Structure 1
Amino acid sequence: MTDRAVDRERAAPIGCGPGGMGEIVIRSRGAGRSWHGGGVGVWRTVCRVSVAVGCACGVLFGAAPSHADPAEPGVDTLVGPAATDTFGGYLPEDGTLTAFDVENPIVGRLDPALLAAVQEASRAAAADGVEVEINSGWRSIGFQERLFEDGVRTYGSVEVARQFVASPQTSMHVVGRAVDVGGPGAAAWMSRNGPRFGLCQVYANELWHYELTADANGACPPMKPNATG
């Protein structure tokens, strides 16, 4: 954890892990994207802000995530080792990225048009004194499957989980066409200014999730209530 300033833009109680209650906390510099609450034994819970009115809870076991070399033989970056390293799209709870950290696949595997738009928006936000952080971007099929399965366990059914976390077959993160922003004031800035860069909030229950869906006039389509549409 870090002692840097907290930007609690959204917090909501939710069940997480083996019988515990957690709280979704969004903090600056990417350090607070973790669950605070129940857990037993070696369970360690990590939350990505992209999923839930809250979010789905990714449950990790044992030691800290490894950081494999993407060129290492046998590492399949398209599927990845689910939520265990950055090459699956996982961002450690003390990690922070911007739209210019293209060496990380979370950013570097974004659709080029989306990446260019987020970079342009980030420059404009910086001129206004706001740093746009990237909490999540591209995700492997394996990581998204892990998030979806954790969502089913958390919410008790596939039908309810789909409101908060997309399946690997429908997630725009898997194809690099969605980005989750964070940082003090970033979501509010994007809400006001994102459309002029083509960036729109897609789901009413996800203030941080943006896709390149604005039309040529900078108008966004109506927001969907949640991930089920």
Structure 2
Amino acid sequence: MGKADGVVPDGVTVSDDEFAAVAELDPALLKAVRRAAKAAARNGVTFYVNSGWRSPAYQNQLLREALAEYGSEKEAARWVATADTSPHVSGDAVDIGKSDAAAWLSEHGAEYGLCQIYRNEPWHFELRPDAADGGCPRMYADPTHDPRMQK
């Protein structure tokens, strides 16, 4: 797996279009993340991309690794989705690092339509355009509680 599959080395920011993990994100999501990153930068916070778009092959590799680490499909599913259900494969999710950036986005993300989706993944954000007006929807405990993962 490599850069073309969505693998990102340390230090990749939301502006680094030469990485598929960034360039292949849904354009509306990418625009919102970049707007938020610009605002966060005024507070000295940089948004790094720990993960963004992923190829199905890369997603499957991550799932195999999670199965090996957690020992069961049930436990692995709390952390890694299948290629068929992962919002990373469709370009609809971005994992933001470092912890200060994820915390900033958790606090201010709704202003940009960016919402934390899972309580167990404070780095995982998806676009919810209505959040700017009505706030983010209630978080799921983890992906196993997300109806989108039940395909």
Distance (Å, rounded) in 2 between the aligned partners of 1:150 and 1:116? 31
Deviation digits for residues 34-74 of structure 1 (CA, Å, limit 9, x no counterpart) = xxxxxxxxxxxxxxxxxxxxxxxxxxxxxxxxxxxxxxxxx
Within the candidate set 53, 77, 86, 2:3 is matched to 86
- Which of the pair has more CA radius of gyration? 1
- 1:162/1:184 Cα in 2 relative to 1: closer, same or farther (>3 Å)? closer
Q: Secondary structure at the match of 1:207?
A: coil
Question: Paired residue for 1:221?
Answer: 137
Moved over 6 A (4+): none
What SS does structure 2 have at the residue aligned with 1:96? coil
1:34-183 superposed matches below 5 A: 84-92=1-9, 95-183=10-98
In the alignment, is the contact (CA less than 8 A) between 2:78 and 2:144 conserved in 1? yes
Higher RCO, 1 or 2 (CA under 8 Å, sep at least 6)?
2
- Name whichever structure is richer in helix by fraction: 2
The more displaced of 152-161 and 135-144 is: 152-161
Deviations 1:190-221 (A, max 9, x none): 11101100000000000100000251514111
- Gap runs ≥5 in structure 2: 146-151
Distance in 1, Cα, partners of 2:134 & 2:100: 21
Letter in 2 for 1:155: Y
Q: How many residues align?
A: 144
Q: Is the 8 A contact 1:162 1:228 kept in 2?
A: yes
Q: Deviations over 1:99-125 (max 9, x none)?
A: 111121110000000000000000000
Cα separation, 2, equivalents of 1:213 and 1:171? 16
Asked if 2 retains the 8 angstrom alpha-carbon contact of 1:131 and 1:184, the reply is no
Displacement, 1:128? 1.2
Task: Letter of the 1:87 partner, please give it.
Answer: A
Whose strand proportion is higher, 1 or 2? 1
* Alpha carbons 2:8, 2:49 under 8 Å: kept: no
Tell me if the contact between 2:40 and 2:104 (Cα under 8 Å) persists in the aligned partners.
yes
CA distance in 2 between counterparts of 1:147 and 1:194 reads 27
Q: Output the aligned Cα RMSD.
A: 1.2
CA contact (8 A) 1:214 1:220 kept: no
The partner residue of 1:208 within 123, 138, 142 is 123
After TM superposition, the score normalised by the length of structure 2 is 0.91
Structure 1: 5+ residue stretches without partners: 1-83
| AA at the equivalent of 1:180 | D
The letter of the residue matching 2:29 is L
Could you say what secondary structure the match of 2:144 adopts? coil
> Structure 2: how far apart are the matches of 1:163 and 1:157?
10
Determine if contact 1:88/1:139 at 8 Å carries over to the other structure. yes
Q: Deviations over 1:123-176 (max 9, x none)?
A: 000011111111110000000000111111111111111111111111000000
